[in-house]
Amino acid sequence: MVINVKYDATVTLRTVLQEQLERLDIPHTIHSAGEVELDRTLSPEEMEELTGNLGKYGIQILSDQKTALVQRIKNAINEMLQNDMARSHKVSAYLADNLNYSYTYLSNLFSEATYTSIENFVILRKVDHAKELMTNTDLTLTEIAYRLNYSSVAHLSSQFKKTTGLTPTKFQKILEKRRENRIQQTL
């Protein structure tokens, strides 16, 4: 039997962080999906236990400030793509406003650490988000393009094909074929 699930990674991360910090009785404030302020310094034993508990979920505690800032950039981009109001902002302004650094500094740091640009990362995330919407909703390509702040369906299709090697229509046909195969297997 196969079941399909839908989840919000940000909500999942916040929930796991909240549960693990409360379990260890660590007073805290979660500022964003990737940033938690602890109200006290942890003992080495507490840090080791927290690191181990979070590691079971694939969550790492970042100790290097540059690596942490790169992750904050990624988290901010993911949050921006999930938020209808934020998607209409320019990425550069959104990141600079939310992370309190100049976009030039953020862009240089990101490129140095990831060997790709913020713009390319945004395209990859938008295409991933488009795939999620095609897989989990009945939205049309026009609605998806609008939701992801593309100027047109053609622009979405162009970036989708460059990233995946498939047109969105071909991707949807593959999804439909898989659904049909699953239905036939259950009969």
- pLDDT tens digit sequence for 27-36: 998 886 678 8
Length reported for the chain: 187
**Whole-number pLDDT of residue 12:** 87
**Whole-number pLDDT of residue 87:** 67
**Whole-number pLDDT of residue 160:** 95
Torsion angle of C-alpha atoms 155, 156, 158, 163, degrees rounded to 10: 140
Place of tokens 């259950």: 186
The residues, any chain, with a CB within 8 Å of residue 183's CB and separated by 6 or more, are none
Tell me the average pLDDT of the chain: 88
**Whole-number pLDDT of residue 2:** 73
- Record the pTM: 0.70
Helices (H), the chain: 9-23, 44-55, 65-82, 91-99, 103-114, 118-136, 141-147, 153-164, 168-186
Two structure tokens written together for 108? 């240089």
For the chain, what percent of residues have pLDDT higher than 90?
50
